[in-house]
Structure 1
Amino acid sequence: MVRTVGDSAVDVVHPLLVLSRGGARLAAGARGWWERAPRDHRGPALFLAGSCALFLWLMPYGPWLAGAAALGAAAWCGRERPEPAAVEPEPDPEERAARLQALYEALVPCFAVAGDPRPEPLYCGDGSWERAFTAYGFDADGRLTHLLLRYPPCFPDGEPDARLRVQRLLCAKAGRDREFRFDWDEEANALHVTALEPLPAGLCAQRFVVAPGEMVLGFTDAEAVPRTLPVRDGDETRDVPPVVWRTGPRSTEPHLLVLGQPGSGTTTLLRSVALQALQHGDVAIVDGSGAGEYACLAGRRGVLSVETTPVGALASLQWAAHETERRLLAAVRAREGADGAGPPGGGHRPLWVLVDRPAVLTHLARSEGRPDPQELLEVVLRHGRAARVSVALAEQFEGAEALAQAVRAYTRARVVLGCATPEQVRAVLGEPPQTTPVREVPPGRGYARLGTGPVLRLQVPATPDPYDELAAEAHREAVAALLPVPVVGVEE
């Protein structure tokens, strides 16, 4: 039976059904005992049951008490019993030891350094894993979750190539398409390997609780950054550790460079930066791909221009260079006047110059005999921090060689998105990642490094084009809600 209470439906079982089901279970249990019991036990059991029945019949209210006890037992046995939770089997100790021994033997060529002064080396052909592996853990499926191993002091742990060789081997032997973090302790000659959970890929663009000049590039691991941000995830709100890029006159990495494979989310990251920058500043966009990925921002308040042609790109970047110089002069005059009490930057709003696929613009400009648009960025990149002008560029790996020297020199905040080898990550960020990349990653997944900081895992918030019908409807609505009001028809 189902009874409706308010707006919810409550399952109600008739008492007679419960009593009948309990009586049937009691009868089945008694019958089963009778069939399993030896013949010499049946007689005493019948005698004991008859004696109890006679005693209850003779005592006051005995039959009523017996009936109540029978009804209680039937109701208890006839109740709905929740199914017991499935107990995950633990890995077999012998199988676990065999896997650790196989992993140890695979590490012998890496850690068996010639000339080890120890009489019993940690890693040798006939050695055991128990001396090298001091801590380990497995999940219910028998996969390695964490491992703490020791290695010889003569191992060159300061060389990135030697580290990458060990990390690749461990990922191949224990990875199974999982991402591992490798914490090298050079002082203790120990390596801690930890299997990482995937970063949240469903978080969409929204208003983040950050200070002016701070940009949320994405989200990372909880132990990698010292802060968290409240983020809406569907109908819930949870705290997520962010990767915050700080800009402004006091920033040491005022400009950003994003590299990745096609479809890895480089344009999504620039679109997310543009939506956050429009809260407190102005934005000039140059789209070298010409695919109309930033058409949703055209004609919006705070968006100075959205250029997709080489001629428009040259004009926009030339204006940005002149604007940077003008702001510098205004800042100098403000400091010189009124005993140097003028506001920094002349009191201008922050300006953001976003350039997507500059290598394509360079190729088109050279084919038409025009100046290289990247040369106009040198003034902005060199003096943008003092003038409160920030530059964010996005390019694909195949066009990275066409980036100008000024772009490479002044973009100290770097992001690599998509499937990239450790060598590619190291070439862009300056250091190899502490984790092993997996073969298949969702859009917006990669690594980030701000200045000389550590290499962090990164998941860019979903910021699709609101006009893209292939994107998720919830993500498109979230981006559309963040768009500024159109300039046309708005009363000042």
Structure 2
Amino acid sequence: MARRPLPRILERGSVSLARGRDIARTARDSATDVLHPLLVIGRGLRIMAAAGRRKWADTPKDKRGPALFLGAACVLVVALVPYGPLLAMIAAMAAAAWHGRDRAPAAEGPGEAEAERLGSLYEALVPYFSVPDDPSPLFSHGGAWDAAFTDYAFDRPGRITRLRIRYPAYFTDGEAESRARIEALLHAKSGRGREYLFDWDEEGNCLDMNVLPPLPTEIAAQRFVTSPGETVLGFTDAGSVQRTLPVREGQGEEPRDVPPVIWRTGTRATEPHLLAVGRPGSGTSTLLRSIALQALQHGGDVLIVEGAGSGEFSCLTGRTGVLAVECGVGGARTTLEWAAQETERRLFAANRARQEGRPAPEDVRRPVWILLDRPSVLGHLAAVDGRTDPFALLQVPLRHGRAANVTVVVAEQFDHLELLGEAVWAHTRARVVLGPASVEQIRSVLGVPPHTTPTPEVPVGRGYARLGTGPVHRLQVPATPDPYDEGAGVEAREAVLGLLPERAKQGAAHTQPPLLPEVRAEAT
């Protein structure tokens, strides 16, 4: 018996194996074709069941009983109608098939206009991402942009909303000036008037550019779910902070979770004082009103010095917890003198309590808030009258306010920043910039440039915030207008009126506690 050659045997075995695979693939495809309608209906039923569970979870508890009664009535009607159950089953299967269909959009490339926009953007980046000695340049004039732009998206007008750029490893992405040039170019070529977020991946040599959605401006002042010592400065992007707060955006609306920018104050705070800077009409007074209402909500005492004298805080005059609302030079000086003496008195009382081994007195633990709106105006008026600047009296609360549970908030305009003393810049580690501002102006206040591109037109209360050495957050201050301003929205004014404390009773006003001479001598 002749032996067959080994290669021929292996060849026949491979052919048999290939035929077996074809038969198995054909059988699988046939089974898939048979089961495809069932798979579609099963996927649709699963989607409908998940939607029903979400709808039931979102239904308020007081409305679940009527919803159950209505559903039972519909089932009873369907059961009594001739051929009702059969028709209901057919309708359910049709709805399941509709929801379970494959709705994945077909992968399509960019259109002609979109490809032209990407090509022009690619050509604009060539001088920044190429060198003459590169043997295989990723960016070159007349090159293919699809190798450098790996991900992109457009809106309906055809403008870029998302773009991922691969750049050469020799690009100096670690230098702020180099990155700023690329960001400015992308901002100009992709469309101005929008806010862009740039995320640099230095390890992977990639740059992600995304258009940020506008922050919500409909959130009015309300009682936020915070603990004592926490103040909501405003709201920011979802990925910037790890906490959310339930807020209402209008009367009768259901609360939804929004990420806040929370500023912590008190004896253990690392940023005990705050500086807010902006242009006229940017919302710094709105921020001060919001802070004052939250401080009064947690049982603090509020002292307001209004330099402009426009009556922005007249709604707080005579309210419980409001020590004073001063507009003149004389009243501001007297008020700030009391604030300095009160800070010293609290320090002495707390020191004596610690020496005696007992907790600090109740009046020392009660927080005091000193809010100053445009104090440079008072300094100018005092200089004209030949008086000393009352703003100099803030050095004691600024230097020792953290230990005495005294918080200082200063709101000033860009044009008068040079009039702020060194104590303000040294001790206001929490910073806020509101309104339209350039990158240089934001950097001068916050210490670092913003992580997004500022826009020339922003709503009231829109800006940036930075707490200490932390990151820069986009910020939208809650709408807290003057309730007596008829030009503001009615709902926002009513919300502020609802948060105002009651009028203080006669004889229950706060008095200025004197700093006893023997206490001062003992501390010295």
Q: TM-score, normalised by structure 2?
A: 0.73
Q: Show the counterpart of 2:352.
A: 333
- Are 2:267 and 1:249 equivalent residues in the alignment? yes
Q: For structure 2, list consecutive stretches of 5 or more residues without a partner in the other structure.
A: 1-104, 510-524
* 1:385 alignment partner, SS class: helix
Q: Which runs of 4+ in 1 moved over 3 A?
A: 343-347, 488-492
For the Cα contact (< 8 Å) 1:219–1:460, is it kept in 2? yes
Deviations 1:364-422 (A, max 9, x none): 11221212222111111111111100000101111111111111111110010111111
- Are 2:155 and 1:155 equivalent residues in the alignment? no
For the Cα contact (< 8 Å) 1:287–1:357, is it kept in 2? yes
* 1:322 alignment partner, SS class: helix
CA 1:92/1:111 → structure 2, altered by over 3 Å: closer, same or farther? closer
Larger helix fraction of residues: 2
CA 1:491/1:420 → structure 2, altered by over 3 Å: closer, same or farther? closer
- Are 2:320 and 1:301 equivalent residues in the alignment? yes
Quick one: distance in 2 between partners of 1:306 and 1:483? 15
For the Cα contact (< 8 Å) 2:283–2:461, is it kept in 1? yes
Q: Show the counterpart of 1:442.
A: 459
Q: Show the counterpart of 1:318.
A: 337
Q: For structure 1, list consecutive stretches of 5 or more residues without a partner in the other structure.
A: 1-86
What is the 5 A alignment of 1:283-298?
283-298=302-317
Equivalent AA in structure 1 for residue 429 of structure 2: R
Quick one: distance in 2 between partners of 1:476 and 1:286? 22
Quick one: distance in 2 between partners of 1:486 and 1:460? 26
Equivalent AA in structure 2 for residue 376 of structure 1: L
Deviations 1:148-187 (A, max 9, x none): 1122333332333322222121111113421111111222
More divergent stretch after superposition (230-239 vs 389-398): 230-239
For the Cα contact (< 8 Å) 2:346–2:364, is it kept in 1? no
Q: TM-score, normalised by structure 1?
A: 0.78
Q: Show the counterpart of 1:21.
A: none
- Are 2:124 and 1:93 equivalent residues in the alignment? no
Quick one: distance in 1 between partners of 2:361 and 2:163? 52
More divergent stretch after superposition (354-363 vs 158-167): 158-167
Equivalent AA in structure 2 for residue 312 of structure 1: G
Q: CA deviation at 1:436?
A: 0.8
Quick one: distance in 1 between partners of 2:447 and 2:401? 23
Q: Show the counterpart of 1:166.
A: 182
For the Cα contact (< 8 Å) 2:364–2:404, is it kept in 1? no
Quick one: distance in 2 between partners of 1:391 and 1:424? 23
Deviations 1:102-157 (A, max 9, x none): 11111223333x47x64122223233222221211122332212111122333332
More divergent stretch after superposition (428-437 vs 167-176): 167-176
State the identity %: 61
What is the 5 A alignment of 1:163-202?
163-202=179-218
What is the 5 A alignment of 1:49-88?
none
Q: Show the counterpart of 1:485.
A: 502
Q: CA deviation at 1:490?
A: 9.1
Q: Show the counterpart of 2:300.
A: 281
Q: Show the counterpart of 2:433.
A: 416
Equivalent AA in structure 1 for residue 154 of structure 2: F
Quick one: distance in 2 between partners of 1:129 and 1:325? 67
* 1:120 alignment partner, SS class: coil
For the Cα contact (< 8 Å) 1:91–1:140, is it kept in 2? no
Q: Show the counterpart of 1:224.
A: 240
- Are 2:359 and 1:342 equivalent residues in the alignment? yes
Quick one: distance in 2 between partners of 1:309 and 1:109? 59
Q: Show the counterpart of 1:34.
A: none
For the Cα contact (< 8 Å) 1:225–1:243, is it kept in 2? yes
Picking from 362, 377, 382, the partner of 2:379 is 362
For the Cα contact (< 8 Å) 2:245–2:257, is it kept in 1? yes
For the Cα contact (< 8 Å) 1:228–1:241, is it kept in 2? yes
Aligned length: 400
- Are 2:494 and 1:456 equivalent residues in the alignment? no
* 1:111 alignment partner, SS class: coil
